[in-house]
Structure 1
Amino acid sequence: METEATLLSSPVSSLAGRREWTGLAVLALPTLLVSMDATVTYLAIPSLSASLKPTGAQLLWITDIYTFMEGGFLIIMGALGDRIGRKRLLTIGFVLFAIASVMAAFAGSANLLIAARAILGITGAIILPCTLSLIRNMFQDERQRTIAFGIYTACYSGGTMLGPLIGGVLLTHFWWGSVFLISVPLMFLFLLASGLLPEYRDTEAKQFSLLSAVLLLAGMLSVTYGIKYIAESGIEKFAAWISIAAGILLISIFLYAQKIIRNPLINLRLFSIPTFSATLATLFLGLFCWSGLYLFVAQYLQLVLGLTPMISGLLTLLPAAITMAGCMLAPQTLRWIPRTATIILGNIIMLAGMLIFTQLEADTSLIVLIIASTCLSLGCGFIVTLGIDMVVSVAPHEQAGAVSGISESSTTFGSALGVALLGSIGTAVYRSEMLPASEVVTEEARNTLGGAWAASQQMPNQSSTTLLVHARSAFLESFHTAALLASAAIILMIVFFIVTTLNRSSNGK
């Protein structure tokens, strides 16, 4: 049986040259594209709604089906890349992504657009783990590989920031479908330059069980659906928890099957490595807190501080830019601070930002919010860059694809669950705070701060002011509660990570 030392070992280190760094630039194209496509549709919603006239449920699926399908297929596609070749599968995925983008751009109905977005999510699940695993194989030197992963995570963060900006420019001059056509020129550029990429695959890998793949896919999709249902309809929805429970059961059966079948889809022995498991948990929780709390920040900017949507949008670009800076800065800190200590530092920086969030009030200076957001984003950048590097580097070269899928799944589900749970808890706190309000509070105002603002526009000045003061106070209480819960989770994570790494050191691993 392989020991942890065996799993952590790698081929003799060699420095990457110009070809590898140029190849990394080529891999930036699909990375940017997948992250941009998750956000590029946001500004197109009004115009595509006017054109396709989707129902409320259809509109939600247009925006959600992409990440829903991506999360379900990540691990399977990563394992498939190990077997048929990561460059080959990446090329196939990029071409299919471009074709699906054209389908989305010229979709004549809401259902066709949903179907195209579903295919985009599946092909996005091909691209991400293949890209990560190729980086893992191209850069054998530890320091160079960390820098390469920093560039990768910066590109991914930059894509989420560029999506709305590019979408806005295109929508100014063209129809809503134009936002999907960005992938076509990027695909041609990638095909022209893909010769610079090496091919890697596990020549000894056996074909994995189709039943295993079906169990994992059904379980992941069921959990993802439950999380999104909670995010849309609230934490009290019984059907959402049934979906999550069914998904967990299917995933548990899948994990058990991996122990007894001859050709498992993933190597479960990796999870017995404390650093591997602890780092995965840190990645999950870091994205959980980051995504969940920024749901509140966007509302705070517009509905509490009263900033215009344009100014609020520009300010939300700052966290994305800081996250990119954190991704690029993280590898440089390893010159002075050990890797595990840097990940702990990232958690502490995030914690500082969350604690500042608990002190925000309606009259708090915007500078305070910027400082808190900076801490949250910078710390998250450290965690994601070094966390992905640690998780993917632990795996043997031949299993890099499957492990890349596991790593991407932890961040995807962490982000989705953060929005769902912290958002639902915040909504519950807001509603409870609004219950003892005066008669000026309508049912619409009790649901959300946005609903309260809309209701206030139909009231006399005095009643409007009373309602908004009470609603903003209730929202701040919900924001503070979510930030406190996230802070407690991060503190527990820091303790767990320290104990895990200390135990590993004391055992001489």
Structure 2
Amino acid sequence: MGTSDTTGLHAGRATHREWIGLAIIALPCILYAMDLTVLNLAVPSLSADLKPTAAQLLWIVDIYGFLAAGSLLIMGALGDRIGRRKLLLIGSTSFGLLSLVAAFARSAEMLILARALLGIAGATLAPSTLSLISNMFRYDRQRTFAVSVWVASFSFGGAIGPVVGGLLLSHFWWGAVFLVPLPITALLLIVGPVLLPEHRTPNAGRLDILSAALSLAAVLPIVFGIKLVAEGGSVVWAASAVALGLLFGVVFARRQMSLPDPLLDLRLFKRPAVVAALGINVLDFFVGFGILVLVAQYLQLVLGLIPLEAGLWSIPAGLGFIVGSLLTSAVLRLMRPAYVLGFGLTLAAGGLALMAYAGEIHSLVLIVLGNVLFSIGSAPGIAIVADLVVSAAPKERSGAASALSETASEFGGALGIALLGSLATLLYRTALGVTMPAGIPANTIETALRGIGAASSLAPSLGDGSALLLAARSAYTSAGTSR
């Protein structure tokens, strides 16, 4: 091989600085995922302390993801303009401060507000890190592996989150789980400015404030409509809210087509592969995040595991996701991306079927095994989609493209929590209403019907083996395994 060929082969390859930078980039990804999973284990204890309604509990769990999804496009475009490293450090600082507020919340409303602001701060992390990767790794195979590591870092955060959360909940109050991000944030702020390169788009246009407002206006009314249905509110008002959100979505899309420097470059949707990949990503996260919450509550409130035990039994699924993510780059050398996606989704579907069966027979081992299979099968699709969407965009719009990929993920995940959580709540209330034991006081019935967390909070006064609690656990199992 000639000298010119060798030079061409190695052109654009990453150096040691880029690989060290990738390790630093993994920190906020771990932070982001940990903040999601530690909360799932804290749901029963915060339910007993703050006594939220069923709708408020759903808001506490998923408003973080919804506002993150609504803010991702804004933050991705902002990073292109002010610098991706700068946005990452600003967002990380905000994330740490808001975590303190959430830790010491004294009401359900205060915690909802803190989680909402955390979602906005968290929206800076994923597009900043993914767009930095797209600029740091220009060689295709290295970039694919770097994106796989990026995905695996989220999985690692999700895997250790339940363990760390379980340990904290065994010794401290539920708010302690929100203190976990503080040391990671501090480390990132110390080493980030030194080891991470800065990338921004030269001569970038102004951020269109109206487009930013429209992107939020398209998401939030839809969320409100879903929540209203979950709470048993007016179907007319819920449908009106969803219709309003869709209307704002149309206005947002039309404005993007008329702007020379849009918040979202709709030309990406002209590529069928990108559209299909984003659709798969939404579905993948829709199911994954919904199952995450349902399984976390099932382990504690139905099988009776303490938070630490539930956290430890959640580790295998997180490890499965890490393995699936890191194997993606190697498997893509053997077969086409479409085949990798198809095989992975088939494996994930088998895992879901196994979990549905395990829930009916109360088998902890089969629940964990099904969750592992689902994690391994769904992981390759996330890495493939992220790499495909970012590769399809011009380098000067890598932040916005990264945000598009993450928006699909976050919106799918948050929608899964809301819709599957709402569906499980409705099925639970219906089933419990039929099997409610006779002679239960009205106020106790009202509490039990709010959700399995509220019903479990009655255990100290009723006794863990009371007929009402047994009926509630049975109702939750039937709700979670209905298909």
TM-score by length of 1: 0.78
2:135 paired residue among 134, 137, 156: 137
Task: State the shift of 1:285 in Å.
Answer: 0.1
- In 2, the alpha carbon distance for the partners of 1:436 and 1:64 equals 29
Residues 440 and 142 of structure 1, relative CA distance in 2, 3 Å threshold = farther
- In 2, the alpha carbon distance for the partners of 1:31 and 1:361 equals 31
Q: How does 1:140-159 map to 2 (within 5 A)?
A: 140-159=138-157
Task: State the shift of 1:273 in Å.
Answer: 0.4
Residues 91 and 236 of structure 1, relative CA distance in 2, 3 Å threshold = same
SS of residue paired to 2:422: helix
Residues 431 and 97 of structure 1, relative CA distance in 2, 3 Å threshold = closer
Q: Name 1:399's counterpart in structure 2.
A: 397
Q: Name 1:507's counterpart in structure 2.
A: none
Q: How does 1:45-444 map to 2 (within 5 A)?
A: 56=53, 63-105=61-103, 114-170=112-168, 179-194=177-192, 195-230=194-229, 232-233=230-231, 237-301=235-299, 310-360=308-358, 362-363=360-361, 365-430=363-428, 440=438
- In 1, the alpha carbon distance for the partners of 2:318 and 2:34 equals 12
* 1:71 and 1:221 in contact (8 A); partners too: no
Which residue identity is paired with 1:481?
Answer: S
Residues 45 and 428 of structure 1, relative CA distance in 2, 3 Å threshold = closer
- In 1, the alpha carbon distance for the partners of 2:44 and 2:467 equals 28
Q: Name 1:481's counterpart in structure 2.
A: 482
- In 1, the alpha carbon distance for the partners of 2:19 and 2:464 equals 63
Deviations for 1:96-118, whole angstroms, at most 9, x for unmatched residues?
Answer: 32333345456677766555443
- In 2, the alpha carbon distance for the partners of 1:360 and 1:172 equals 27
Which residue identity is paired with 2:334?
Answer: W
Which residue identity is paired with 1:221?
Answer: L
- In 2, the alpha carbon distance for the partners of 1:361 and 1:435 equals 21
Task: State the shift of 1:167 in Å.
Answer: 3.8
- In 1, the alpha carbon distance for the partners of 2:183 and 2:431 equals 51
Task: State the shift of 1:255 in Å.
Answer: 0.1
Task: State the shift of 1:181 in Å.
Answer: 4.2
* 1:149 and 1:388 in contact (8 A); partners too: yes
* 2:170 and 2:307 in contact (8 A); partners too: no
* 2:58 and 2:418 in contact (8 A); partners too: no
Residues 172 and 283 of structure 1, relative CA distance in 2, 3 Å threshold = same
Task: State the shift of 1:262 in Å.
Answer: 3.0
The sequence identity of aligned pairs, in percent, is: 41
Task: State the shift of 1:207 in Å.
Answer: 1.5
Residues 275 and 220 of structure 1, relative CA distance in 2, 3 Å threshold = same
- In 1, the alpha carbon distance for the partners of 2:428 and 2:57 equals 25
* 2:269 and 2:275 in contact (8 A); partners too: yes
SS of residue paired to 1:35: helix
Task: State the shift of 1:84 in Å.
Answer: 1.9
Deviations for 1:403-437, whole angstroms, at most 9, x for unmatched residues?
Answer: 11111111111112222223333444455556665
Structure number with higher relative contact order (C-alpha < 8 Å, ≥ 6 residues apart): 2
Cα root mean square deviation, aligned: 3.8
**Bigger shift: 421-430 or 173-182?**
173-182
Task: State the shift of 1:312 in Å.
Answer: 3.5
Does structure 1 residue 15 correspond to structure 2 residue 16?
Answer: no
SS of residue paired to 1:359: helix
* 1:298 and 1:312 in contact (8 A); partners too: yes
* 2:302 and 2:473 in contact (8 A); partners too: no
* 2:162 and 2:314 in contact (8 A); partners too: no
Deviations for 1:15-40, whole angstroms, at most 9, x for unmatched residues?
Answer: 11211110001111211222222344
- In 2, the alpha carbon distance for the partners of 1:353 and 1:425 equals 20
Deviations for 1:427-473, whole angstroms, at most 9, x for unmatched residues?
Answer: 44455556665965975677766778889995999x949x958973x
**Bigger shift: 112-121 or 452-461?**
452-461
Q: Name 2:3's counterpart in structure 1.
A: none
Residues 447 and 104 of structure 1, relative CA distance in 2, 3 Å threshold = closer
Deviations for 1:105-157, whole angstroms, at most 9, x for unmatched residues?
Answer: 56677766555443322221112111111111111122211211111111112
SS of residue paired to 1:200: coil
- In 2, the alpha carbon distance for the partners of 1:188 and 1:169 equals 21
Task: State the shift of 1:343 in Å.
Answer: 1.4
- In 2, the alpha carbon distance for the partners of 1:111 and 1:469 equals 30
Unaligned runs of 5+ in 1: 1-11, 483-509
Residues 173 and 357 of structure 1, relative CA distance in 2, 3 Å threshold = closer
- In 1, the alpha carbon distance for the partners of 2:177 and 2:367 equals 31
- In 1, the alpha carbon distance for the partners of 2:301 and 2:174 equals 28
- Report how many aligned residue pairs link the two structures: 466
Residues 107 and 453 of structure 1, relative CA distance in 2, 3 Å threshold = closer
Unaligned runs of 5+ in 2: 1-9
